[in-house]
Structure formats: structure tokens, C-alpha cells
Amino acid sequence: MKVRLLMNFIPCDWSVQNGPGIADASDTHFLKDEPWLEVKNTTIEECKKDNVIPWVRSGSGGVVKECERVGWKCIIGPNAVFANSTNPSLNFLELKSPAVLKLLMLDDVNIALAKQHSTNPNNIRMVRHFMRPSLYDEPFYYKYKWDTFFQIKTPVNARLVHAYQNHTAIHNGFYMFEELKMKAQHSKVCIHSCAYDNYGLSAHEISLLGCPMVYDDRGFKPSTIGKGMGIKVSHTENGPITELKEAVEKAMQMDRKKVWEASHAFQHPNVVRDIYRRAILE
């Protein structure tokens, strides 16, 4: 099977690109030389004529409708169906279409939701995002400036914030990568307070910089954070303060080089490439 990736975003400066667009750009960068894949923006009719399966990275609704019109199939994802955050049920309407050949997802939570709506649950496959290329060459240790680094997308336990007053933070899902990089490299530990996130880019960016994480088992984290990347707790928002403080202290004692090595082994481009290859071709 030959696949044609319809989204081709290559930013001019990897170090400052922000938001979900970096996932599109990184996937394109690392997969563009795969023999089974071509990156070319063409119409669905041209894909059918050339006998290639279109793969759309975002905004898949229009592509699905066009595939239905011309009698062709497409691959969507990863998590391209999550365009509507205020009414999540609308995200799954297109999964009922017979034009969807495969759906690529990033975590167990969303796969379970998608299977409730898909006409072919067996074709829902898990993949991972590639990280920005510059991260694989970053050093893993810098002189400490902060004890704790809070990645905040939902409320974090206020008692934990007061317990570690020498802290820094980034908020919400969008951030300047240079800020994240500096804070991850200069902090002893990162507390990842995010109840639901179907991308998880920041968690991997932080650990690839050698910063150990304290994280809970909500959202994407159970299935996308590998062994040796941090300490798991029951809840970072309102969990027992004794459990949280114990986890933070343990994470602070982790060998940053081992965190760096574990993260790089888990997120190595060759590993992620193999996952994509199996998810799409098998």
C-alpha cells in the first residue's frame, strides 16, 4: 500500500515553532523518506487515479466527505478528529464513514472513546508523535535555577506550590519552546498538572531534556510516558500532599542522565517510525 501524506508543514525555525503544528512538521520531517510514504498535496481524485491512500493530519472532515463522493478511502490522524473541544461527541461523527480506512490515535483513553463510534474499531491504531529534531541533540544537564517546574493545564495542588516556593511554570497547551527548554534544563523536577491532553508533546519535550516528571495517570499519560521518565502519583490536582511531596523528592534524586537516556530510547525516531509503519501498513 502506498500512502500520500496531504499535510506538509516544515517550519523555518524548529526552536521557536509552537503549538500542535510542531507535531505535523516533525512527523513530516522524520517520515518523508519512507518508501511507503510520499508527501504531496493533491486532491482525493488524484489520489484515486494514482492508486495511493490519502493520509490527512488535521481537519479530516472535508477529506472524509470527498472520499465518500469519489468512492475512495483515507487514513486520518493522529487524533485529527479532535477539532471540537466544546462538544466532543461531534468529533466522532466522521468515524462512522466507510471511507475511513484507518484512524491513528495517541492514547488509550481516546482510542476507547473512538471505538464506541467507529464502524471498524479494529482499524484504530496507536502511534506517537515525533519530537522536534533539535531535541535529540540537546545536553541533559544544566545548573539548577529552580527546584520545581510546573506544567499547568489544570489546577495544581496549591499546597504543593507553597511547599516548593522556588518554582517556575508554564501554562496551558501553548508555550514558547525556548522558555520550556530553559525551564526544563534548569529545574530539578517537573510537576505535570494536566487532567486531559491528547497530544502530550510538552511531557516528552521536558523528559527528553533530562528533567524528571511527577505525573498522574489521567489523559494521555498512562500510555505515553515510558519507564524511567518520572514518578507517577494518583493525582497532581488534589491528591494527598504527603504522596505528592514524596514523589517530588524521589524525582529530584533521579539521575538526569538516566532520565535523558530512558526518554530518548522511548521516543527515538527509529522507534516511532516503526510504530507508524506497523500502524499504517499492517
Helix, strand or coil, per DSSP, at residue 47: helix
Q: Using CB atoms within 10 A of its CB, is residue 162 exposed (0-12), middle (13-18) or buried (19+)?
A: exposed
Quote the pLDDT of residue 18.
63
CA contacts within 13 A on the Cβ side of 241: 8
* Adjacent-strand bridge partners of 191: 150, 214
Reported as a single tens digit per residue, the pLDDT across 22-57 is 777 788 889 989 999 998 888 999 999 999 999 987
Question: Which pTM was predicted?
Answer: 0.87
Tally of residues, the chain: 282
Higher local confidence (pLDDT), 49 or 237: 49
**CA-to-CA distance for 117 and 13, rounded, in angstroms?**
39
Q: For residues 53 and 73, is the Cβ–Cβ distance under 8 A? A: yes
In which element (H, E) is residue 45 found? helix 44-50
Strand order in the sheet with 100-105: 37-39, 3-5, 53-56, 74-76, 100-105, 124-126
**CA-to-CA distance for 91 and 58, rounded, in angstroms?**
12
DSSP annotation string for 82-125: ---SSSGGGGGGGGG-TTEEEEEES-HHHHHHHHTT-S-GGGEE
Quote the pLDDT of residue 151.
87
Quote the pLDDT of residue 105.
86
Q: If pLDDT is split at 50, 70 and 90, which confidence band does 85 have?
A: low
Region of poorest pLDDT, from 30-39, 129-138, 166-175, 243-252: 166-175
**CA-to-CA distance for 89 and 45, rounded, in angstroms?**
29
In which element (H, E) is residue 44 found? helix 44-50
What is the average per-residue pLDDT within 14-29?
Answer: 70
Reported as a single tens digit per residue, the pLDDT across 162-184 is 889 999 998 866 678 889 999 99
What is the average per-residue pLDDT within 193-213?
Answer: 81
**Residues 14, 19, 24, 27, Cα dihedral to 10°:** 60
CATH superfamily for domain 133-266? Glycogen Phosphorylase B; (3.40.50.2000)
